[in-house]
Structure 1
Amino acid sequence: MFQSAIHRYLDTHKHNTIPLKAVLFDMDGVLFDSMPHHANSWHMIMEERGLHLSKEEAYLHEGRTGAGTINLICQRQYGRNATEKEIKDIYRAKTEAFNKMPLADRMNGAWEVLSKVKRDGLFSMVVTGSGQATLLSRLNDNFPNIFKPELMVTAFDVKFGKPHPEPYLMALNKGNLKANEAIVIENAPLGVQAAAAAGIFTVAVNTGPLDDKILLDAGANILFPSMQAFCDSWETLLKELTNVKILA
């Protein structure tokens, strides 16, 4: 079912096998159904300041650091980067707006697939562009005994956010992993680009309003329509990932 995509990955990156050890999960839109809240809060705060970022466009910038998003909009609208004060004020206001919204639910299928990953002797890591404490602090409450703080990469850890490969390269370093020893689960085009640039087999889950083609064009190796669909196919995918080989 997934063999052709796995063969293409192995051939492209000159690997013979995928000796899988870890699964690297994005957080917003993958583990939590939080992207609608992020999109709404970004749109509202930007409009209040005369900056224009639609809810739909917010999904395209998902995974970018807050400073990166603010700079991009200021460059487009004013032809300059935002000042440090503007970045601080806008991101603080966006965070406050986000925190006033209802807590995001776990994404359907997320807990189940994390449990399967652990059952199968692999470990999970979070690689997120988020710095939202309300979500970061909920990881252990919603997914107990899954994630370790030392095996997390957040907006506070990186200089370059997605689509730069730094977040996923840092995850490989923290997990003592080679690129072909992990897979990435992403729902955002910038996250897919970052994972692909890091040379990691990338699974896209389209949990938002974007066209599938956007995620595939960003570099996803395979795509599922939801986290539940990914969860339901986990056993098949794992078997094929670990069994497909290219002869040297």
Structure 2
Amino acid sequence: MILKNINLKAVLFDMDGVLFDSMPYHANAWHKVMKAHGLNLSREEVYLHEGRTGAGTINMVCQRQLGREATPEEVKNIYKEKSKEFNTYPQADRMPGAWELLQKVKAAGLLPMVVTGSGQTSLLNRLEENFPGMFRRELMVTAFDVKHGKPHPEPYLMALQKAGLKPEEAIVIENAPLGVESAVAAGIFTIAVNTGPLDCQVLLDAGASALFPSVQALCDGWEELINKLA
């Protein structure tokens, strides 16, 4: 792995599956609520569509199964039920290695940022509690900020704009194929961490330039990665 023409100033983190070990809860909640509405979305497929906004996920399933987009009322009700179901589960733990990795990012003088397709306020509100002093709220990009969710490049382009960065001044850490596609489309060097059930090749096919089997493995290899930027 050779990193070229990168003047690193910031590290852009996805949230679910990178900072929080929350994806199993999301997968269960989406599957259960969709099934209650007569819609089919398996737990494993949730990982393939991770990064879409809630509305995007609901519309995708409705278009596939019903041949139409969901109505605004359907989107509102289904996502409300999904959020309610998600919040019945225990609080998601920090992903192993995430806190230590963020400390290394900060120690290197780099700006950590969150770029997530999630609108799950219970998790967004816990970022400061679980990662104190790491993220500036005004620089976060969430489902509430974007018109187009991942895999569209808008979330990562918006993050660059908010921080006044060029694509070559950042790297992205993602665990989802749609997130990888989004970051690559924004022109940013993208590292994948495979923290779910997907085959590693799915993340590489999405365009990841580097792949680690876990956030902890990325943390352990961080110094070597940074040295390749020097």
TM-score range, shorter chain: over 0.9
Cα offset, 1:239, TM superposition: 1.1
CA distance in 1, matches of 2:133, 2:29: 31
| Partner residue, 2:42 | 54
| Partner residue, 2:154 | 166
- One-letter code aligned to 2:120: Q
| Partner residue, 1:82 | 70
- One-letter code aligned to 1:21: K
CA distance in 1, matches of 2:227, 2:171: 13
In the alignment, structure 1 residue 96 sits paired with structure 2 residue 96: no
TM-score, length-scaled by structure 2? 0.99
Cα offset, 1:173, TM superposition: 0.3
Greater radius of gyration (CA): 1
| Partner residue, 2:221 | 233
Q: Deviations over 1:200-223 (max 9, x none)?
A: 000000000000000000000000
Cα offset, 1:184, TM superposition: 0.1
- One-letter code aligned to 2:31: H
Q: Deviations over 1:2-38 (max 9, x none)?
A: 22xx2xxx4xxxxxx2110000000000000000000
| Partner residue, 1:13 | none
- One-letter code aligned to 1:143: F
TM-score, length-scaled by structure 1? 0.92
CA distance in 2, matches of 1:112, 1:72: 36
CA distance in 1, matches of 2:37, 2:69: 15
In the alignment, structure 1 residue 126 sits paired with structure 2 residue 114: yes
CA distance in 2, matches of 1:234, 1:140: 23
Q: Deviations over 1:63-88 (max 9, x none)?
A: 00000000010001010000000000
CA distance in 2, matches of 1:128, 1:29: 11
- In the alignment, structure 1 segments of 5+ residues that lack a partner are 11-16, 244-248
Extract structure 1 runs of 4+ deviating beyond 4 A.
Answer: none
Find 2:171's aligned residue among 161, 183, 188. Answer: 183
Identity of aligned residues (%): 69
Find 1:216's aligned residue among 200, 204, 216. Answer: 204
Q: Give the total of aligned pairs.
A: 230
- In the alignment, structure 2 segments of 5+ residues that lack a partner are none
**Aligned-partner SS, 2:192:** strand
In the alignment, structure 1 residue 153 sits paired with structure 2 residue 153: no
CA distance in 2, matches of 1:199, 1:154: 19
Q: Deviations over 1:72-123 (max 9, x none)?
A: 1000101000000000000000000001111000000000000000001001
**Aligned-partner SS, 2:216:** helix
In the alignment, structure 1 residue 28 sits paired with structure 2 residue 24: no
